[in-house]
């Protein structure tokens, strides 16, 4: 009997309905849905249908891109509780209803958490994967992240095979073999589209401050939102050449740079000629670009987000957004007071790695103001962080902070130098209040002049 026939037979033997597959779940189990696009659809619905038979089911997830059937079927949370590594809009709404809890993490450590600290918290992994190849491998497509670590510690593994998902070339840890799978179910649906955020005029002003600092051959890490799109657009229209990509998240801005002939990866010191990433979110065009593309390489976050790995690329430029910065240089990017709104993600990883890179720069950006719930204009640069706000990047790791009014370089500066630099990029109408606060906090006086 040929190996090919044997694999087909093993596949057929493990192929069951979603309803049959989820019978393996018992009360008290921890389920893992993986990251982003690996969250299953048919299995989630089948598990939700068992709500009257089960008790105390916890579900690990991250950056959910479709509603959780389990949460919707159990609105009071008597059976299913979602535990998320990173909040998107859907997770945030569940959290506000008391249905979802956040797992604090530094993204580069996610795989290590599974392999070292929570090895007993994956009873059943349920992950959406690509169709199987001729050698018996399934692929983690847009959600490589830490999925291999999940599989390695799971007591049982169920894959939901989706023939519409793109195959992500590796890298490493981007595949799972048929032999380690307990059950297979099939469900065909396109990968979730994540529309690019529309850039605001503030985003465009911030981007115009950043782009002059990006040199030919620079290696880019772009976060999510309108700002990275603005940076990508300006770079695509510029004379800058031979940009590289080493990032946690592959977004449409990179595809636009590729189409403009700017993204070549020719000058990277490692993984030359390839754009490196851990997960992807964006348009159908982005997913089509990923599919079997050898110029892209999907790696686990233990590699993409290791500061010492990324720093091997010279002129690494990291661009991310934040919620609030205080006059000490503490950066909050994931909560609004005690309300968790996103997660640490890889911001601290890249703030560290970009600064370690020869010629590298870490930019963390925000508009100078925002509106509160009452519609009042408030400064995003504040005397001290709002009570309960989480410090995502400590002041000791902060580098360049950018608003539409300019760039404040905090690295190596004293508390009074930091305060003055930040006040200078705050909204002009709100600077005097910040000056008074800095004086009260004894970190600034009017006679100080930054050299």
Q: Tell me: do 309 and 434 sit in the same domain.
A: yes
Q: Tell me: do 270 and 415 sit in the same domain.
A: yes
Of 186, 221, 242, at which residue does a domain stop?
A: 186
CATH for 285? 3.40.1080.20
Of 151, 186, 221, at which residue does a domain stop?
A: 186
Q: Tell me: do 149 and 234 sit in the same domain.
A: no
Q: DSSP label at 192?
A: P
- Report the pLDDT value the prediction gives residue 329, as an integer from 0 to 100: 97
- Report the pLDDT value the prediction gives residue 225, as an integer from 0 to 100: 77
H-run or E-run covering 226: helix 226-236
- Report the pLDDT value the prediction gives residue 4, as an integer from 0 to 100: 60
Q: Is residue 124 part of a domain?
A: yes
Q: Is residue 445 part of a domain?
A: no
Answer for the pair 349, 223: CB distance below 8 angstroms, yes or no.
no
Note the pLDDT tens digit of each residue in 411-420.
999 999 999 9
Enumerate residues 6+ apart whose C-beta is below 8 A from 102: 84, 85, 87, 95, 340, 343
Instruction: Work out the pLDDT band at 3, boundaries 50, 70, 90.
Output: low
H-run or E-run covering 5: helix 3-14
Q: Is residue 31 part of a domain?
A: yes
Q: Tell me: do 34 and 172 sit in the same domain.
A: yes
CATH for 60? 3.40.1080.10
What is the average pLDDT across 289-318? Answer: 98
Average model confidence (pLDDT) across the chain? 94
The pTM assigned to this predicted structure is: 0.95
Q: Is residue 424 part of a domain?
A: yes
Q: What is d(CA 223, CA 227) in angstroms, rounded to the nearest whole number?
A: 8
Of 186, 218, 236, at which residue does a domain stop?
A: 186
Note the pLDDT tens digit of each residue in 75-100.
988 999 999 999 999 999 999 999 99
Note the pLDDT tens digit of each residue in 202-243.
999 999 999 999 999 999 999 877 888 788 888 988 999 999
Q: Is residue 308 part of a domain?
A: yes
Partners of 393 in beta bridges: 331
Q: Tell me: do 247 and 372 sit in the same domain.
A: yes
Partners of 408 in beta bridges: 401
Q: What is d(CA 353, CA 237) in angstroms, rounded to the nearest whole number?
A: 27
Answer for the pair 401, 210: CB distance below 8 angstroms, yes or no.
no
Q: Tell me: do 335 and 406 sit in the same domain.
A: yes
Domain containing 13 equals: 3-186
- Report the pLDDT value the prediction gives residue 2, as an integer from 0 to 100: 59
Q: Is residue 193 part of a domain?
A: no
- The yes-or-no verdict on residue 266 having pLDDT over 80 is yes
Enumerate residues 6+ apart whose C-beta is below 8 A from 14: 178, 181, 182, 183, 184
Q: What is d(CA 322, CA 366) in angstroms, rounded to the nearest whole number?
A: 6
What is the average pLDDT across 175-197? Answer: 95
Instruction: Work out the pLDDT band at 1, boundaries 50, 70, 90.
Output: very low
What is the average pLDDT across 397-420? Answer: 96
Q: Which of 147, 160, 173, 248 is an active site residue?
A: 248
Q: What is d(CA 248, CA 301) in angstroms, rounded to the nearest whole number?
A: 7
- Report the pLDDT value the prediction gives residue 223, as an integer from 0 to 100: 82
Query: Quick check: helix, strand or coil at residue 158?
Result: strand
- Report the pLDDT value the prediction gives residue 451, as an integer from 0 to 100: 41
Q: Tell me: do 408 and 347 sit in the same domain.
A: yes
Q: Tell me: do 141 and 39 sit in the same domain.
A: yes
Residue 22 token pair: 């989820």
Answer for the pair 58, 83: CB distance below 8 angstroms, yes or no.
yes
Q: Tell me: do 313 and 414 sit in the same domain.
A: yes
Q: Tell me: do 9 and 133 sit in the same domain.
A: yes
Q: Is residue 451 part of a domain?
A: no
Note the pLDDT tens digit of each residue in 373-391.
888 999 999 999 999 999 9
Report the percentage of the chain scoring pLDDT > 70: 98
Q: Please give the tally of structural domains in the chain.
A: 2
Q: Tell me: do 213 and 145 sit in the same domain.
A: no
- Report the pLDDT value the prediction gives residue 228, as an integer from 0 to 100: 80
Report the percentage of the chain scoring pLDDT > 90: 90
DSSP string, 306-371: -HHHHTTSTTEEEEEE-SEEETT--EE-SEETTEE-S--TTHHHHHHHHHHSTT-EEEEE--SEEE
Q: Is residue 249 part of a domain?
A: yes
In the annotation, is 248 catalytic?
A: yes
Q: Tell me: do 205 and 171 sit in the same domain.
A: no
What is the average pLDDT across 266-295? Answer: 97
């Amino acid at each position: 009997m040929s190996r090919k026939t044997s694999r087909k037979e093993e596949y057929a033997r493990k192929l069951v309905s979603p309803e049959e597959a989820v019978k393996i779940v018992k009360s008290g189990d921890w389920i893992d849905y993986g990251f982003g696009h690996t969250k299953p659809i048919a299995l989630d619905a089948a598990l939700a249908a068992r709500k009257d038979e089960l008790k105390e089911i916890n579900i690990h997830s991250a950056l959910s891109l479709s509603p959780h059937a389990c949460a919707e079927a159990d609105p009071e949370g008597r059976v299913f509780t979602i535990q998320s590594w990173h909040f998107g809009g859907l997770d945030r709404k569940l959290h506000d209803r008391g249905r979802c809890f956040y797992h604090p993490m530094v993204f580069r450590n996610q795989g290590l958490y599974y392999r070292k600290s929570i090895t007993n918290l994956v009873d059943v992994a349920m992950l959406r994967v690509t169709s199987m190849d001729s050698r018996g491998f399934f692929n983690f497509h847009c959600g490589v992240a830490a999925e291999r670590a999940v599989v390695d510690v799971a007591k049982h593994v169920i894959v939901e095979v989706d023939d519409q998902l793109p195959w992500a070339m590796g890298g490493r840890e981007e595949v799972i073999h048929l032999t380690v799978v307990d059950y297979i179910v099939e469900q065909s649906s396109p990968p979730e589209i994540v529309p690019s955020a529309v850039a605001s005029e503030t985003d465009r002003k911030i981007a115009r401050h950043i782009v002059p600092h990006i040199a030919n051959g620079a290696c880019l890490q772009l976060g999510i939102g309108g700002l990275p799109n603005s940076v990508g657009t300006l770079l695509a229209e510029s004379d800058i050449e031979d940009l590289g990509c080493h990032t946690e998240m592959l977004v449409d801005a990179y595809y636009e740079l590729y189409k403009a002939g700017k993204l070549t990866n020719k000058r990277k010191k490692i993984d030359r000629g390839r754009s490196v990433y851990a997960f992807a979110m964006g348009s159908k065009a982005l997913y089509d670009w990923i599919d079997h593309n050898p110029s892209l390489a999907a790696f686990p976050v233990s590699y993409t987000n290791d500061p010492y790995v990324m720093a091997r690329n010279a002129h690494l430029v990291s661009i991310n957004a934040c919620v609030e910065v205080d006059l000490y240089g503490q950066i909050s990017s994931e909560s609004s007071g005690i309300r968790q709104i996103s997660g640490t993600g890889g911001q601290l990883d890249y703030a560290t790695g970009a600064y370690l890179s020869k010629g590298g720069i870490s930019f963390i950006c925000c508009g100078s103001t925002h509106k509160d719930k009452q519609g009042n204009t408030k400064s995003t640069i504040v005397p001290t962080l709002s009570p309960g706000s989480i410090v995502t990047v400590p002041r000791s790791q902060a580098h360049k902070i950018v608003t539409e009014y300019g760039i404040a370089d905090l690295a190596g500066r004293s508390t009074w130098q930091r305060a003055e630099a930040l006040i200078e990029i705050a909204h002009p109408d709100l600077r005097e209040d910040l000056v008074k606060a800095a004086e009260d906090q004894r970190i600034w006086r009017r006679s100080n002049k930054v050299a």
